[in-house]
Copies of this chain bind each other. A is one copy, B any other.
Amino acid sequence: MKIEILKENLKNALNIVERIVGKNLSLPILDNVLIDTEDNYLVLSSTDLETAIKLWVLTKIVKKGKIAIPVKFLSSFVSLLPNEKITLEEKKQGLYVECSNLKTQIQGFNPEEFPIIPEFKNLEFIEVDIKKLCQGLSQVVDIASVSQSRPEISGIYFLFSKNILKIVATDSFRLAEKTIVLEKAVIKEMSFIIPQKPAKEIMNILMEKEENAKIYFSPSQIMFEVLMKESERPQIQITSRLIEGEYPNYQDIIPKEFKTKVVLKRDEFLNQIKTASLFSGKINEVKFIVNSKNNEVEIFAQSPDIGENRSSLQAKIQGEDLEVSFNHKYLIDGLNNIKSSEVIFELSEKEGPCVLKPVGDVNYLYVVMPIKST
């Protein structure tokens, strides 16, 4: 193998593939990037066995071939090279790198040891707008359960139905649901659960892309593919295993009615909860007192060792006065996922779930369970 490539292009490509590497002492090949060639493209692949990524870079291929090289090392090395054309050449399982004032030889690994990344040729796919997908993922992905005791809720649920995609995550204390309208309706309803880590990587890696993504899936695997501009050749493919099992029937816990609805300024609300959180005790309890006479909501927290904090904010209130307590962390996470200047907070019975929504956007909701009153 021998190729010529601009340092900047190689660096950018390595910065993406190095995100996914295994930390598997018994399989050191997973620390590597597989460097391969295909027509006039350099092809880089990395995998941690759960997620895999494959990336095509148009460049000058002098001679075909392949080699595996420790990816973190190669990425650190390339980032220090001058901004110019560099030559990479494979000889006897070594990678020879040359540019104007530097000659380097890096020990490589046998490329045949690199795991095979599953392919999804000739299968049906669904097309989605990447920007909408990544932005939607960013509003739900952190809510998935970190515990593995119920593996199905440790992932992100995707449900395609007609021209709607719903992305959902929950840890059983709160739930986030994002609705994305598809340009083209799907023929039959389809759903799957992606583990949280690959879902985050898909979001981070594809966030900057302008194109549509194609989603291919089999019962156990999924692939997100972005094509080159004005070409049928892939630019990037991210493959992930899927979580087996049935996602809970989450629609049942989204309350259909509410007792009290308040509309609040988002930034002020978030700030007052953060302030109150400093005074909350071990169970993170922050109390919420709706006072319709004064058109205000009072936020209260106390802890004997620290002191107490009482603040108020103006609100538009519909329905009954009530008092309800929340874990401040859950409210802060929900508000961080909402970017509108005003938020709707729909409160129910003391022990029933409540809902946070952005004002002016019906496509996002965040359900949160209150702390049961003692």
Contact = CB atoms under 8 A, between A and B. Distances in A.
Interface string A83-116: 0000000000011000001111111000000000
A76 B278 contact: yes
Interface in A69-89: 73, 76-77, 80-82
A274 B308 CA distance: 53
A306 interface: yes
Interface stretch (A136-144, A185-193, A230-238, A309-317): A309-317
Interface residues of A, number: 30
A274 to B, nearest CB: 5
A7 to B, nearest CB: 12
A363 interface: no
A360 interface: no
A77 B278 contact: yes
B73 A278 contact: yes
A59 to B, nearest CB: 22
A204 interface: no
A271 interface: yes
Contacts of A271: 80, 82
A311 B80 CA distance: 12
A282 to B, nearest CB: 16
Nearest to A274: B80
A278 B70 CA distance: 12
Given A107-B305, A305-B107, A275 B77 contact: yes
A307 interface: yes
Contacts of A103: 309-311
Given A274-B80, A275-B81, A105 B308 contact: yes
Given A73-B306, A275-B80, A311 B94 contact: no
A308 B104 CA distance: 6
Contacts of A102: 272, 275, 309-312
Contacts of A312: 101-102
A82 B95 CA distance: 58
A89 to B, nearest CB: 13
Contacts of A107: 305-307
Nearest to A296: B101
A310 B313 CA distance: 65
A179 B95 CA distance: 47
Nearest to A80: B275
B306 A106 contact: yes
Interface in A35-61: none
Interface string A269-286: 001101100110000000
A141 to B, nearest CB: 26
Interface in A296-340: 305-313
Contacts of A104: 279, 307-310
Given A73-B306, A306-B106, A306-B107, A311 B101 contact: yes
A97 to B, nearest CB: 9
A305 B310 CA distance: 62
Interface of A: 73, 76-77, 80-82, 94-95, 101-107, 271-272, 274-275, 278-279, 305-313
8 contacts: A73-B278, A76-B278, A80-B271, A101-B272, A101-B313, A102-B309, A103-B311, A107-B307
7 smallest beta-carbon distances between A and B, as pairs: A102-B311, A106-B307, A80-B275, A104-B309, A105-B307, A107-B307, A103-B310
